[in-house]
């Protein structure tokens, strides 16, 4: 009989959503191990969900107590949610390599460290960042090879607010070590 389980659908859904919130399952994961991180979050969230459902079920008989149903729900949910989240990561990475959805980024400090950060953004678009340029008090003495055609000094550090508004900057990386404020 499926009716008792369908009657408890909203209860189970709220517990699962709360568990994903606890383990930050609604945050975007980027980088090389994003898929593994997603799978770990799914396993943690679904394990907590099953634990809470079983605990509530001891107190009030919301769902018929069937260990087989609980184990199957746990396993199927982990597999289905992990596959779904991996597909989303692949779609997101595909979009990033096409330049869609990248965060416009500003790097404060055109030194070697700042240029290393920009190189990573250009060479690994799946990170999800697009370097719009640099802010520094003076142009660097050397520009890294991968940045020779792309390097842009947008202004000095005091112009950070103006540059952020003009270019629609969404994230800032700071590599300059001797900032006064």
- Could you tell me how many helices (H) and strands (E) the chain has, helices first? 6, 4
> What's the DSSP call for residue 158?
G
Query: If pLDDT is split at 50, 70 and 90, which confidence band does 60 have?
Result: confident
Enter the pTM of the model: 0.69
pLDDT of 32 reads 67
Render pLDDT for 135-172 as a digit per residue (tens, 0 to 9). 998 888 899 988 888 899 998 888 999 999 999 999 99
- Non-local (6+) Cβ contacts of 104 within 8 A are 130, 132, 167, 168, 169, 170, 171
Secondary structure (3-state) at 109: coil
> Cα-atom radius of gyration of the chain, to the nearest Å?
24
DSSP 57-87: HHHS--S---HHHHHHHHHHHHHHHHHHHHH
Render pLDDT for 47-57 as a digit per residue (tens, 0 to 9). 999 999 888 88
Residue at token pair 């399952």: 25
| More confident position, 139 or 46 | 46
Angstrom distance (rounded) from CA 52 to CA 49: 5
């Amino acid at each position: 009989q499926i009716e008792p389980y369908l009657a408890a659908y909203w209860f189970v859904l709220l517990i699962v959503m709360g568990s994903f919130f606890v383990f930050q399952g609604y945050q975007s994961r980027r980088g090389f191990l994003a898929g593994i991180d997603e799978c770990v979050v799914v396993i943690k969230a679904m394990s907590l969900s099953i634990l809470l459902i079983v605990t509530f079920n001891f107190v009030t008989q919301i769902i018929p107590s069937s260990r087989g149903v609980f184990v199957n729900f746990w396993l199927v949910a982990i597999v289905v949610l992990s596959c779904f989240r991996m597909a989303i990561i692949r779609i997101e990475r595909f979009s990033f390599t096409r330049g869609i959805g990248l965060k416009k980024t500003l790097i404060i400090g055109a030194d070697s460290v700042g240029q290393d950060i920009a190189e990573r953004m250009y060479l690994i678009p799946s990170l999800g960042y697009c370097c719009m340029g640099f802010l520094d008090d003076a142009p660097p003495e050397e520009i890294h090879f991968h940045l020779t055609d792309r390097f842009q000094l947008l202004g000095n550090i005091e112009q950070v607010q103006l540059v952020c508004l003009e270019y629609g900057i969404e994230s800032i990386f700071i590599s300059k070590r001797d900032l006064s404020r």
